Structure 1
Amino acid sequence: MKLKHVNKSFGSNQVLTDINLEIPAGQVTVLVGPSGSGKSTILRSLNLLEQPESGHYEFDEHLQIDFSQPLSKKDLLYLRQNTGMVFQDYNLFSHLNILDNITAAPRHVLKQSKAAAEATAKKLLAKVNLADKAQSLPDQLSGGQAQRVAIARALAMNPKFILLDEPTSALDPELEAEVLKVLLQLAKEKQSLVIVTHNLAFAQAVADKIIFVEAGQILYDGPGTAFFSEENQHPRIKRFISSMTFTNLL
């Protein structure tokens, strides 16, 4: 995925300014930065939940979008079929059991048979350690369990990239650990992940690439190891890491 010279405003508020970035397949890319910096808007633009006013978007060798032009339904469908989105508030269908939540999109969008979709869903539930919850309703799950179902639902579409917007921000530390364990396993399997998070310990453990965003601009785009190396840190990034990890406050 590539964004070139992308700009996005909400009314008179410019939230993204001349964004240029490339997100490689088979790696974990993590977006970090202060609240309101624009990192979630970048993520939502990659899924076209937000459409910038200008710039270009390239997705694999099949799709090139000029944001200054109307978006076609064909391009939108192709992108949505190849990117899975996981939100911080799960967005599960409350009236459907967990198995039906996971099989809905494969059956209706990918036209899979019920048997095939359910077979895949059961494998994915086992993968996220929820094999016994297939017949449960969302309100019978903990937050950590619901988020793991949301991840399984995204995986069910066999997307090229999974986009996660603060997937653990609503969870307490114990439930957060359940979700992070699943994401770490996906990272080991070379699933392409793009994650917005405030959890810098997790980012340091999992990120192949880190993008630091502030005031709608990218101040760092490079390896995770270099981002956390004190020798290479930009003064602003050093202050950010210190504030997020309580370093030098005592």
Structure 2
Amino acid sequence: MKLTQIDKVYGKKHVLKNVTLEFPAGKITVMVGPSGSGKSTILRSLNLLVTPESGQYDFNGHQIDFSQKLSSKEKLAIRRETGMVFQDYNLFPHKTVLNNVIEGPTQVLKMGRKQASELARELLAKVGMADYGDVYPNELSGGQAQRVAIARALAMKPQYLLLDEPTSALDPELELSVLKVLLQLAHEKQSMVLITHNMAFAKQIADKIVFIEEGQVIYDGGPEEFFSADNPNGRIKNFIASMTMENLR
């Protein structure tokens, strides 16, 4: 998965400026940076929820030129191979947990209901929600709802899982339950691109760190150098100190 020379403008704001990034298969790429830096715009470009004005996108045999109009067929092909998880869950409130998870496989992948239900139950067990198939979203805690959202994304059997601050709305205990699921997926070599403000988790899970600021890539490399006390980039050191509250005093 690769973006090359991506530019995105909203009105007068230049949100992404000539961004080139590669997201290795079977690895966890974690994007960090201040709010409004362009992280979510990059992530949504990978799922084509956002369409940049220019640049190229290469993914699993698909080659997209953003300067040309995208067809519905192209968008559907990308979305079938990328699973998106948002911070606010986006579960269907009128459907049970089980029906939330089987919606994609039956409607998009045209999987039979029996097969989709078996897959859904397997994935709900994986995320620790095996006993909640008949429950409705309004009966779930935030952490439980987010784990269902992850199961729903995995039900599409995506090449890449894309997660936009999936735990930012959760309290610490609920956050931990979701982070454990993501760590398990990382051990299974599920390809992921993850935005998070949790630096401790980023340090533990990331194969690659990308630091974005003002629509530009400031750092693109391994977590060891990024989190090193000897990192020569003062801006990154200040950012980490702020996020971990090291500079509170």
Which residue pairs with 1:181 in the alignment?
Answer: 180
Distance in 2 separating the partners of 1:233 and 1:151: 37
Deviations 1:10-65 (A, max 9, x none): 111110000000000100000000011000110001101000000110002x2000
Q: Is the 8 A contact 1:226 1:233 kept in 2?
A: no
Deviates more, 1:239-248 or 1:107-116: 239-248
Which residue pairs with 2:45 in the alignment?
Answer: 45
Which residue pairs with 1:36 in the alignment?
Answer: 36
**Aligned-residue offset at 1:232:** 2.7
Deviates more, 1:30-39 or 1:240-249: 240-249
Distance in 1 separating the partners of 2:173 and 2:72: 41
Which residue pairs with 2:136 in the alignment?
Answer: 137
Distance in 1 separating the partners of 2:62 and 2:107: 23
Deviations 1:95-122 (A, max 9, x none): 0000000001100110100000000000
**Aligned-residue offset at 1:247:** 1.3
**Aligned-residue offset at 1:246:** 1.3
The residue correspondences of 1:138-217 to structure 2 (distance < 5 A) are 138-217=137-216
Structure 2: 5+ residue runs without aligned partners?
Answer: none
TM-score by length of 2: 0.99
The residue correspondences of 1:1-250 to structure 2 (distance < 5 A) are 1-60=1-60, 62-250=61-249
Deviations 1:124-172 (A, max 9, x none): 0100111000000000000000000000000001000000001000000
Distance in 2 separating the partners of 1:159 and 1:237: 32
Distance in 2 separating the partners of 1:167 and 1:128: 14
* 3-state SS, counterpart of residue 57 of structure 1: strand
Distance in 2 separating the partners of 1:128 and 1:224: 26
| Percentage identity across paired residues of the two chains | 62
Distance in 1 separating the partners of 2:92 and 2:40: 23
* 3-state SS, counterpart of residue 123 of structure 2: helix
One-letter amino acid matched to 1:200: M
Distance in 2 separating the partners of 1:152 and 1:173: 21
TM-score by length of 1: 0.98
Distance in 1 separating the partners of 2:104 and 2:214: 36
* 3-state SS, counterpart of residue 7 of structure 1: strand
Deviates more, 1:50-59 or 1:226-235: 226-235
Structure 1: 5+ residue runs without aligned partners?
Answer: none
Distance in 1 separating the partners of 2:239 and 2:212: 11
* 3-state SS, counterpart of residue 40 of structure 1: helix
Q: Is the 8 A contact 1:227 1:233 kept in 2?
A: no
Q: Is the 8 A contact 1:106 1:156 kept in 2?
A: yes
**Aligned-residue offset at 1:230:** 1.6
Q: Is the 8 A contact 1:84 1:159 kept in 2?
A: yes
- Report the count of equivalent residues: 249
* 3-state SS, counterpart of residue 151 of structure 1: helix
Distance in 2 separating the partners of 1:129 and 1:208: 25
- Structure 1 runs of 4+ aligned residues shifted over 3 Å read none
**Aligned-residue offset at 1:233:** 3.9
One-letter amino acid matched to 2:248: L
One-letter amino acid matched to 1:15: V
One-letter amino acid matched to 1:193: M
